[in-house]
A and B are shown apart, each in its own frame.
Chain A
Amino acid sequence: MIYLPYLVAAWLFLVGLYGIVTSRNLVHAVTCLSVVQSSTYILLLAVGFERGGTAPIFLDVPVGTKAVDPVVGALTLTDIVVGATVSALLLALAVQIYKHHGTLDPERFRSRED
């Protein structure tokens, strides 16, 4: 068992959250969210990793060849698609907010009652 990928995943998750919490720019915050999300890619791939395994393409290889888990690959791909959608939507919202406020700094447009 290799611990490095799990540590990297945890680090990315935390550092991305730190970035969102302290962000003073919405585009930066959206990028930090992508950092948080990339930790899930690494976690998924680490879970399905097989030392010495090949890509899970079972063509022209003998039966029983070691390969990494194809399911986590599929999950990661789905996750990436989700991430692209969310980022695009968030950036579109950020653009609209910039049009109204002339700034991307969340501290400068705190919401008020009503």
Chain B
Amino acid sequence: MDALPALPVAVPLLVAAALVGLAPVIRRQVADAVALATAVAVAALCAALLVQTAGGPVVYWFGGWRPRDGVALGVAFTVDPVGAAFATLAGVLAVAALVYSWRIFEAVSPLYHTLMLVFLAAIVGFCLSGDLFNMFVFYELLSVAAYALAGYHTEDPGSLRGALNFAMTNSVGAFLVLAGIALLYGRTGALNLAQLGQTLAAAPADRLVVVAFLLLMVGFFVKAAVVPFHFWLADAYALAPIPVGVLFAGVVSELGLYAVARVYWTVFSGPLAGGGGLRAVLLFGAAATALLGGVMCVLQHHLARMLAYATVSHVGLTLAGFALLGPDGLAGAVLYLVADGLVKGALFVSIGLVQHHLRDIRELELHGRGRHLPWAAALMALGALGLAGVPPFGTFRGKALMEEAAAAAGHAWLTALFVAVAALTSAALLRAAARVFLGIGAPRDRAPAVQHPHVHSTLLGPAVLLLAGALAVGLAPGLAGRVEVAAARFTDRPAYAAAVLQGATGEAARTTHHARGSLAVPAVLAVLSALLGAALALGALLPRRRPAGRLTRAAGRVWAPTAAVLRDLHSGNVGDSVAWLVVGLAGFGTLLALVAR
């Protein structure tokens, strides 16, 4: 079927339009069923595409406007395994989110389903697009749907403020992307990624190319919430409806990274090649994001905020894999992103269960009140281990690949960063789980316990499905090898251009099977970071019997003011967030100017 790449975008858009038109006359259950069936269809179509791309990229020219003599005239979807994998991930997360909203998310009209389907269609379109301007259009479409979904609870002022900050900051980011596109178009007269890359590769990088790269990179980093572009994220993700949070934390931030990787490898890898300086700049951003996100995660007592900062932290971690600017690091990053997205989706569903049954989402208020929710407890603890990258979760395989690539590139210190980040984010979640489900730690003044009468055991379905997916990514035999081949193709600009512009089907994928290091060391490190996380969690919970030693007191004297400053900085204010965006743009601009000389 030739039109297969267009279907996972066209179908949800058409269904969404039909749902809007029929909104006044159809019942909620009908909208639920239609939306869920559509999401399942999208996930299946994307999975079919993923299978089809095994033999090489699938290129679809809209309206049949194929390239003439190697010049792209039309608009194309260029589907490769990485893009198809992200689209499939979005489809699976949307299925989980819609199952969850069917059972738990009350008082929704068919307009909610419309927004979700438009959101899904835009994400899929963004992943499949082979045209830079189309990427921008899908980026804006998914963003606008996301703003509306983030502020869906119009009765909650916090959620409205979160949505407003989200929309303002991300719009500025989108305009940076558009400005970058305009500069590239002015230079090359092209918008197709392959054409852009081929034209730019003819000359070494000059200032215009570097500025265009800076604008695109920063614009997409705003969506990915790389420090210091992350200030909008916590309010938007944490206060959005839970099923929306599943998609936000699971795939949306990751799309920002995907876009930077895609644009770098298809367009800029020619003129900016051999950039040890660029690698240093990106690694710096990655380390700052991973650490600040991890620390902020530990500081939270609002379960959804915790997950929001875990997202920031893990975006930093994944950026480190991409920042190595080689196929091996990218393979690890892709594997990690998919597994991590599934784990975070499952965690969002499990805190949704807590919120539904206990009518609260704050760790301290929930002290010991989750004792009768063993399933939610198990899911949250397993999710915390998944975040820590403990085998056999897929996060472990991804992280092991990234660590290996980092060591090969002479950046072995990244392993220490990975251990620290995994310990921090899992510590926050294990601490919350121990407090809520086991009642460990000093209780707070008891609020009257409001219990929801019945426990929907069917609600566990989506969380179990997502966690099982994350385990499957880790356990599937030969998957790591396939991802390595896909990453090698992703980073092969001439082959990409040939496939798009000349219709070359590409020779059999180069076998990049190099002797892979033993997984024993990464496994020990992963278990170690989870244990470290558990120790940190217990340290925060258990009462101190002995008076604090000098070292502990000194650490406390540094820690408390630092934490206060960090909390103050994350004010959730629109102006602050945009001001930090400008600072970050100037900062990354200066760094790039320094290394590009």
Contact = CB atoms under 8 A, between A and B. Distances in A.
Interface string A11-44: 0010001001111001001100100110110011
Contacts of A13: 175, 179
Interface in B550-597: 567, 571-575, 578-579, 582
Given A22-B575, A109-B157, A111-B158, A86 B144 contact: yes
A114 B301 contact: yes
A114 B579 contact: no
A90 to B, nearest CB: 5
A109 B179 contact: no
Interface string B146-160: 011001001001101
B163 interface: yes
B179 A101 contact: no
A52 B410 CA distance: 56
Given A22-B575, A40-B178, A89-B167, A113 B567 contact: yes
A21 B175 contact: no
B453 interface: no
A67 interface: no
Nearest to B364: A114
Nearest to B570: A111
Interface string A70-112: 0110010011001001100110011011001100001101110
Given A17-B582, A21-B575, A40-B179, A97 B160 contact: yes
Given A72-B185, A85-B144, A110 B578 contact: no
Contact of A97 (B157, B174, B191): B157
Assign chain A's interface to a size class: 35 or more
Contacts of B582: 17, 21
Given A44-B182, A72-B185, A97-B164, A78 B175 contact: no
A22 B582 CA distance: 13
B589 to A, nearest CB: 13
A7 interface: no
B573 A26 contact: no
Contact of A17 (B137, B172, B300): B172
Contacts of B183: 43, 47
Given A86-B167, A111-B572, 12 more contacts: A20-B578, A21-B578, A33-B172, A37-B175, A43-B183, A72-B182, A86-B144, A100-B160, A106-B573, A109-B161, A111-B161, A113-B567
